Amino acid sequence: MSMKDNEITKLYWSIGEVAEMFSVSKSLIRFWENEFDILRPAKNTKGERRFTAQNLEQMRIIYRLVKERGFTIKGAKQEIRENKKRIVNLRDSILSLEKIKKGMEGLLLKI
């Protein structure tokens, strides 16, 4: 579940790109879209899903709860509903720590 720096500047990602980012199948993303109200990617005139940066953040929340923490779909829905602000703050903290880690690794390479 890594995102390259050049991908951050994109406005939209296809379902295939999102599936690759999170190492999940496209059908799982479609399933999660039906199950979780927070995940609603836009669709173009052909009906193809176009994921925004906000959708990717929503995917990260769902992925973390279901795949990393082992929540059931029902449990993840409840966790999101009851603790949305805490989840967002936790996600922001994790992203900050990942940036710090990359910076520290960069410093180590210069030594």
Q: Distance between CA 41 and CA 48 in Å, rounded?
A: 9
Closest among 31, 27, 41 to 73, alpha carbons compared? 31
Write down the pLDDT at residue 46. 92
Write down the pLDDT at residue 70. 96
Q: Which residues contact 11 (CB under 8 A, 6 or more apart)?
A: 52, 53
Fold of 5-110: Multidrug-efflux Transporter Regulator; Chain: A; Domain 2 (1.10.1660)
Mean pLDDT (10-residue bins), the chain, 111 residues: 58 95 96 93 92 91 94 94 76 83 83 71
CB 81 within 8 A of CB 22: no
Closest among 15, 66, 62, 10 to 42, alpha carbons compared? 15
